[in-house]
Amino acid sequence: MAGTGKKSRKKIWIIVIITLIILLAGIFLPLSFNRCVLNNWKRCHANLKVNGVLCMLYAEENNGVFPDNADYIKQNSGYMQCLREPEESGDSYLLIPGLTTKNSPEMPLMIEKITNHREQKILPVVFIGGNAMGLKKEFRRYSELLPEFSGITPEEKEYLRQIFLEWDKGNFSFRPESPFRKDSSRKNY
């Protein structure tokens, strides 16, 4: 009978160790997942800032007119795709066409597709003024974004509304006629 006490204590220690391993795994695995997700968000945020700078350079060379499509950005940085989904085809970042440096600084210039960082409830955006940030909310449609841009003019808001309604339909190549461009002298890339 003396041996059964040792066996039961050994079993208890094994159960305690297994329980600790499970608890530690439950604590550290989500942290490493969140760290990975955070790193993806930081890289994506950095990519958008680079794209915003490239768009500003383009506008300086083209009488204050921003590019209408991502070709210029692709030629100069290659960062039109979120690193989170490298196998995804197509662009991850959506450029608002038809803008100039005379638009409100709070006017969005580029927005990431709403599906890319949904689990984080963050939507990366770069603005004409050069600011890049993440809108911290889960968006299901682009048209839900309009209230987030309160510092823009009614004309800019209506222009965005037209674009966002088309994006909600999956028409990401929609290019409405810009009410902001009076001068069409710009380089084509």
pLDDT tens per residue, the chain (189 residues)?
Answer: 555 667 667 767 777 776 666 666 555 544 444 444 445 667 777 778 888 888 888 999 999 999 988 888 888 765 677 655 555 556 788 899 999 999 999 999 999 888 776 666 778 888 998 888 888 888 999 999 999 999 999 999 999 999 999 999 999 889 899 999 875 444 444
Q: Is residue 116 part of a domain?
A: yes
Q: Does residue 158 lie in a domain region?
A: yes
**Cβ contacts of 162 within 8 Å, gap of 6 or more:** 174, 176
Residues whose CB falls within 8 Å of the CB of residue 71, separated by 6 or more in sequence, listed in order: 189
Query: How far apart are alpha carbons 133 and 148 in whole angstroms?
Result: 12
Residues 6+ apart with CB under 8 A from 179: 98, 155, 159
Domain tally for the chain? Answer: 1
Question: In which domain, by residue range, is 128 found?
Answer: 33-168
Read off the amino acid at residue 145: L
Sheet holding 123-127, edge to edge: 93-95, 108-112, 123-127, 132-135
DSSP summary character for residue 96: P
In a domain? residue 163: yes
pTM score above 0.75: no
Q: Is residue 11 part of a domain?
A: no
CA distance 120 to 50: 22
